[in-house]
Amino acid sequence: MTNLKEIQRSLLVSLWFMFLTFPIMVIRVNPLEKVVIWRWYNMLYVGIGSFLLSFVWRYFIRQKELGKKKNETDGQKSFSLSRRAVDDPRAYIPLLSAVACFTIAFPFIFSMYQTNIMITVLIYVMLGLGLNIVVGLAGLLDLGYVAFYAVGAYTYALLNFHYGLGFWTVLPIGAALGALFGILLGFPVLRLRGDYLAIVTLGFGEIIRLILENWNEFSQGPSGIANISKPGFFGIHLSLQNSTIYIYFIMVGLTLFTILVVNRLQNSRIGRAWIALREDEVACQAMGIDKRKTKLTAFALGATWAGMAGVVFAAKTTFINPASFTILESIVILCIVVLGGMGSITGVIAGALVLILLPEYLRAFSEYRLLIFGTMLVIMMVFRPGGIIENVRRTYEFELKEGKELKNED
Partner 1 sequence: MEYFFEILLGGLTRGSIYALIALGYTMVYGIIGLINFAHGEVYMIGAFTALIAASVLTLMGWNQVAIIVIASVVAVIYSSCYGFTIEKLAYKPLRRAPRLSALISAIGMSLFLQNYVLLAQTSNFLPFPNLIPEFEFLKPYQHMISSSEIVIIGTTAVVMVLLGIMIKCTKIGKAMRATAQDRDMAMLVGIDVNRVISVTFVVGSATAALGGVLVASHVGQINFYMGFIVGIKAFVAAVLGGIGSIPGAVLGGLVLGWTESFFTGYVSSDYEDVFAFLFLVFILIFRPAGILGRSETEKV
**Nearest-approach distance from CB 187 to partner 1, in angstroms:** 9
Task: Output 123 or 342, the one with its CB closest to partner 1.
Answer: 342
Task: Output 24 or 406, the one with its CB closest to partner 1.
Answer: 24
H or E element at residue 27: strand 27-30
DSSP conformation class of 23:
I
* Amino acid at position 43, single letter: M
Task: Output 88 or 195, the one with its CB closest to partner 1.
Answer: 195
DSSP 153-208: HHHHHHHHHHH---HHHHHHHHHHHHHHHHHHHHTTTTT--HHHHHHHHHHHHHHH
**Nearest-approach distance from CB 360 to partner 1, in angstroms:** 16
**Binding flags for partner 1, 88-127, as an x/- string (CB under 8 A):** ----------------------------------------
Q: Is 48 in the site for partner 1 (CB under 8 A)?
A: no
Rounded Cα–Cα distance for residues 125 and 147 (Å): 17
Q: Is 32 in the site for partner 1 (CB under 8 A)?
A: yes
Q: 3-class DSSP state for residue 30? A: strand
**Nearest-approach distance from CB 368 to partner 1, in angstroms:** 7
Per DSSP, helices labelled H in 318-368 are 327-340, 345-361
Query: Which candidate, 296, 299, 297, 310, places its Cα nearest to that of 151?
Result: 310
The sign of the dihedral angle between the CA atoms of 207, 209, 214, 218 is positive
Task: Output 42 or 242, the one with its CB closest to partner 1.
Answer: 42
Chain positions 305 to 344 lying near partner 1, rule: CB under 8 A, are 327, 331, 334-335, 338-339, 342
CA separation (Å) from 233 to 119, 236, 247?
18, 5, 10
Chain positions 126 to 155 lying near partner 1, rule: CB under 8 A, are 135, 141
Rounded Cα–Cα distance for residues 372 and 311 (Å): 31
Task: Output 118 or 127, the one with its CB closest to partner 1.
Answer: 127
Task: Output 99 or 283, the one with its CB closest to partner 1.
Answer: 283
- Which of 71, 223, 385, 397: binder of partner 1 (CB under 8 A)? 385
Task: Output 168 or 383, the one with its CB closest to partner 1.
Answer: 383
**Binding flags for partner 1, 166-195, as an x/- string (CB under 8 A):** ----------------------xx-xxx-x
- Which of 67, 172, 253, 374: binder of partner 1 (CB under 8 A)? 374
Q: 3-class DSSP state for residue 320? A: strand
Query: Which candidate, 83, 34, 155, places its Cα nearest to that of 344?
Result: 83
**Nearest-approach distance from CB 55 to partner 1, in angstroms:** 15
Around Cβ 226, how many Cβ atoms within 10 Å?
13
Dihedrals φ, ψ of 75, to 5°?
A: 70, -145
**Nearest-approach distance from CB 352 to partner 1, in angstroms:** 15
Rounded Cα–Cα distance for residues 257 and 265 (Å): 12
The sign of the dihedral angle between the CA atoms of 117, 337, 98, 362 is negative
Rounded Cα–Cα distance for residues 258 and 97 (Å): 19
H or E element at residue 406: strand 406-409
Spatial CB neighbours of 250, under 8 Å, sequence gap ≥ 6: 231, 312
- Which of 8, 71, 76, 214: binder of partner 1 (CB under 8 A)? 214
Query: Which candidate, 85, 76, 179, 132, places its Cα nearest to that of 340?
Result: 132
Task: Output 378 or 406, the one with its CB closest to partner 1.
Answer: 378
- Which of 112, 211, 261, 357: binder of partner 1 (CB under 8 A)? 211
**Binding flags for partner 1, 352-371, as an x/- string (CB under 8 A):** ---------------xx-xx
Mark the segment that binds partner 1 (CB under 8 A) among 30-38, 228-236, 297-305, 401-409.
30-38
Q: Which residues bind partner 1 (CB under 8 A)?
A: 16, 19-21, 23-25, 27-29, 31-32, 34, 36, 42, 61, 64, 135, 141, 188-189, 191-193, 195-196, 198-200, 202-204, 206-207, 210-211, 214, 280-283, 286, 327, 331, 334-335, 338-339, 342, 367-368, 370-371, 373-378, 381-382, 385-387
